[in-house]
Structure 1
């Protein structure tokens, strides 16, 4: 089970690194082919575009897991802990509903690709497969958000969800010193 635990912890990072590596190889190949051999490689642009979309969605999931997504934590930290928790909880609840909504919309979108297959112009692959990142990405974001609250609850529910207790204590001490 250590391999599964490692994969659970680093899944998004691995996918992001692979995608960024493929992008680098594709773009480098295109540059070499064009300037050294005066030939255009048609597959590189589409490959790089697909990998970029996958890297963005996996990066978004990684940000949810690490609690790096956009929020005004400074303002929340400046409030009393109870109010900060309510605001974070409401924001995360809205985020969870948005993810559920997007999974549902993505499901309908993918259903169209499944019923009416469309192949990509350069790679000749069914567009259904690269487009699955929509469900995978939003689904992972939702799972990572839920995981954050489960681990926060298991650790006693101190501070803000997803924030280390030491961070919360350090922030509150800084605020007390400023007063």
Structure 2
């Protein structure tokens, strides 16, 4: 049970870090092979490209979970609270519909890849598997968005969804009080 809870909290970091390790190892191997042994490794570019795409999509899900994605929070927080919530709800609603749309399109795309198998040139793997990140990434983003609202609602629906409320107890306030 603890492992599942840990995975729920850290799956994106685990995938992103693993992908970054694959990228670093592939690039390092290519540099050593070219400059030390004067040969080219054909698999490194493909492996690092696949790892980069996986890192980007899981990183986007991580940003949804942590609410680090691009927003104009200064503008939203300068609005009256009800209006700020409304703007966030509308933006997140559009985002959720976009994720649903992309899940559907990705499902159809993966269906084509499943039906007409293609293999990658260097690694020789079925393209269905690396391309599955499309549906995985958008599903994770949608689930994290829903999770944000579930936590916000269970915490009393105060402030903006997914944003910490400013309490005035920040360490900066303590420092300023002593100046």
Question: TM-score band (shorter)?
Answer: over 0.9
List runs of 5+ in structure 1 lacking aligned partners: 171-179
In the alignment, structure 1 residue 166 sits paired with structure 2 residue 166: yes
Distance (whole Å) between structure 2 residues aligned to residue 73 and residue 124 of structure 1: 45
Distance (whole Å) between structure 2 residues aligned to residue 83 and residue 93 of structure 1: 15
Q: Which 4+ stretches in 1 moved above 4 angstroms?
A: 167-170
Q: Aligned residue for 1:177?
A: none
How many residues align? The count is 170
The C-alpha deviation readout for 1:37-62, integer Å capped at 9, x for no partner, is 00100000000000000000000000
Q: Aligned residue for 1:8?
A: 8
1:160 and 1:168 in contact (8 A); partners too: no
Distance (whole Å) between structure 1 residues aligned to residue 89 and residue 144 of structure 2: 14
Q: Aligned residue for 1:98?
A: 98
CA shift for structure 1 position 2: 1.4
1:159 and 1:168 in contact (8 A); partners too: no
Q: TM-score, normalised by structure 2?
A: 0.93
1:23 and 1:51 in contact (8 A); partners too: yes
Q: Aligned residue for 1:152?
A: 152
The C-alpha deviation readout for 1:4-60, integer Å capped at 9, x for no partner, is 111100000000000000000000000000000001000000000000000000000
User: How do residues 106-145 of structure 1 correspond to structure 2 at under 5 angstroms?
Assistant: 106-145=106-145
Q: TM-score, normalised by structure 1?
A: 0.93
